[in-house]
Amino acid sequence: MSDSKPLLISMGDACGIGPEIAVAAWVAEARREDLCLVGHVGVLRRAVAWLGLGLPVARLASPDELAAMPPDCLPVWQPEGLPSDLLDCPVGHIDARAGRAAAGCIEAAVAAIQTGQALGLVTAPLHKEALHAAGVDYPGHTEMLQALAAQGGAAPPVRMMLANEELRTVLVTIHVALREAIDMLSVERVLQTLQISDAALRRFGLKAPRIAVAGLNPHAGEGGLFGREEIDIIAPAIELARQQGITASGPYAPDTIFMRARNTSAHPGEFDLVVAMTHDHGLIPVKYLGVEQGVNVTLGLPFVRTSPDHGTAFDIAGTGSADASSMRAAIRMARQLIT
């Protein structure tokens, strides 16, 4: 990684565990001139106290100042326009001010990446209801980042990948109602997901990624008995992908394909990644294996973005007990993608 361009870590929702795990991950993973937190100095200083750390906090005017910071000082870039009364927000509760601040940190971080001040972004969890309360019209990080990446032009096609050491899964549809997700499926959308997934895995260093495609319906439709999406949409998309040199296969029954793809010392996975049609089809298997090492990666953006695979955990916010393992894994994966 460049000495002059850091990886940014957003603080997430100020009322959740984001500030705590951002600080804890920085302490565990920081290298000099490598990581810079983006958030409210007061909120992050409070997180330092919750964690029982005697750590000085320095406010940066921009990420460019990171190189001048002492090595044992927590560097925090506080963008302009964050709510001045953010510390008054009740910890563990939805608050529009926290939603606005979380969005402001993301907007500032992306702008810094686009102007060459930073190399990538690791995002701490935000709360979708807090975003909505603040008038931010995106269902989550993925859609917001997609819009910010457009830079006045067409928004790039993006997909969510959730990954840990045993399993990777990419979603064709993300944060929409299940009924709407089914209606969104098309040959073009599935094919595009396969193209984005193949490109991402090649970036990971896999020369010929093996991609399994999970069906939508029980038993992958059972030859049309339980639905025709596999016949009319998914299988044609797989065939088109194969014609383009993508090693894709399926559609497979979604209740078994994840077991076949899971990679362990006792059971080498048959596939490098599973493409799932809907949010819960793809995310439940990965999260069941444990959120502590799971990482969310937004594929298709013109910059690197990763995040932990859990939410704001309002129930334990402020206790200093949140596990930062997933955030640490997200930092390590971002570094891997950047280098």
Q: Which domains does the chain possess?
A: 7-154+323-338 (3.40.718.10), 165-285 (3.40.718.10)
Banded model confidence at residue 130, pLDDT cuts 50, 70, 90: very high
Q: Looking at the DSSP assignment, which residues form a beta bridge with residue 214?
A: 252
**Residue 118 Ramachandran class (φ > 0 left, ψ -120 to 50 alpha, else beta):** beta
Token pair for 137: 């019209």
Q: Decide: helix, strand or coil at residue 224.
A: helix
**Exposed / middle / buried, residue 268 (Cβ in 10 Å: 0-12, 13-18, 19+):** exposed
- For residue 22, the model assigns a pLDDT of 97
pTM of this structure:
0.86
**Exposed / middle / buried, residue 191 (Cβ in 10 Å: 0-12, 13-18, 19+):** buried
Spell 67-88 as b/e; 16+ CB within 10 A means b: eebeeeebbbbbbeebbeebee
State the DSSP H helix or E strand holding residue 77, giving kind and residue range, or none if neither.
strand 74-77
For residue range 67-94, list pLDDT tens digits in order.
888 878 999 999 999 999 999 999 999 9
Positions of E strands within 159-238:
159-163, 168-171, 210-214
Average pLDDT over residues 28-54: 91
Distance CA 47, CA 36 (A): 15
For residue range 199-240, list pLDDT tens digits in order.
989 988 899 999 999 999 999 999 999 999 999 999 999 999
